[in-house]
Amino acid sequence: MTGVLPQIAYRVYLYGMQQIIDETVVFVKKELAGAEGGHDWWHIYRVWQQAKHIAAKEAVDPLVVELGALLHDIADSKFHNGDENIGPAKAVAFLQNLAVSPEIIAHVENIIRHISFKGGNHEKVFYSTELGVVQDADRLDAIGAIGIARAFNYGGFTNRSLYDPAVVPNLEMTKEAYKNSTAPTITHFYEKLLLLKDRMNTATGKELAAERHAFMEIFLDRFYKEWEGVI
């Protein structure tokens, strides 16, 4: 009998965890209906799946990872006049309604607040392995083939030009300057996308990022040749 009760308790925990995740999926799909194509439900889905893949090789709380991945862009500040508090507040209210523990809610809130790149020059004030996993998953979706597609989709959404040879990438941007940048999409590759490979947190993230980074370099080489009519 000694092993039965812990097994039952674990099954109850798994059932409760799955219920929370299932309800979160429904909530996120509803909230992001009609969102810009690079930050819609399918972006969340890809990050969620990638985060679970990375988390399987890390010592993390799986519930925190999955909730962090599912809720990390629930109200991206880019689409809410730069307000960085709407997303965390919305996630906290939702999780409180599900009676999730305060410790988990606080952890997920911190993931949402600290996951973004924001120019890459700001000081880290929070870090956890769970944040590292979700951040890697989110950054992987910003590079490679999907990353290229998302970059140009967002560029079109904000009416940015494809490329301007006269615009020099700014690698010293403050968080505020990065948020307000209207640089061409190709410039964004140098100000963010090509920097992500060396800013991954986990071994799995670094391995996957290297391959996606190489694909972006191939794309850029081809882009410049076609721009000049070489091929």
Domains, the chain? 4-227 (1.10.3210.50)
Identify the pLDDT of residue 189: 98
Q: Which two tokens stand for residue 5?
A: 């009760």
* Per-residue confidence (pLDDT) for residue 15, from 0 to 100: 58
Dump the DSSP string for 1-62: -TTHHHHHHHHHHHHHHHHHHHHHHHHHHHHTTT--TTSSHHHHHHHHHHHHHHHTTS---H
Per-residue pLDDT at 124: 74
Identify which of 31, 29, 30 has the alpha carbon closest to the alpha carbon of residue 41.
29
- Work out whether the CA dihedral 203, 50, 169, 162 comes out positive or negative: positive
- Which amino acid, residue 185? T
Beta-carbon contacts of 182 under 8 Å, excluding residues fewer than 6 positions away, are 158, 160
pLDDT tens digits, one per residue of 77-120: 776 666 788 999 999 999 999 999 999 999 999 999 999 987 55
Query: Model confidence over 50-87: pLDDT tens digits?
Result: 999 999 999 999 999 999 999 999 977 776 666 788 99
Q: What is the DSSP string of 49-99?
A: HHHHHHHTTS---HHHHHHHHHHTTTT-GGGTTT-SSHHHHHHHHHHHHTT
pTM summary value: 0.89
Average pLDDT for residues 109-135, to the nearest whole number?
86
At 150-204, the pLDDT tens digits run 999 999 999 999 999 999 999 988 888 888 899 999 999 999 999 999 999 999 9
Local confidence band at 10 (pLDDT 50, 70, 90 cut-offs):
low
Q: Is a pLDDT exceeding 90 seen at residue 9?
A: no
Identity of the residue numbered 90:
K
> H or E segment at 146?
helix 144-157
Residue 134 and residue 115 in contact, taking contact as beta carbons nearer than 8 Å: yes
Find the mean pLDDT for residues 120-128.
75
Whether 1 has a pLDDT exceeding 50, the answer reads: no
Q: Which residue matches tokens 């890697």?
A: 136
If one compares 76 and 19, the residue with the highest pLDDT of the two is 19
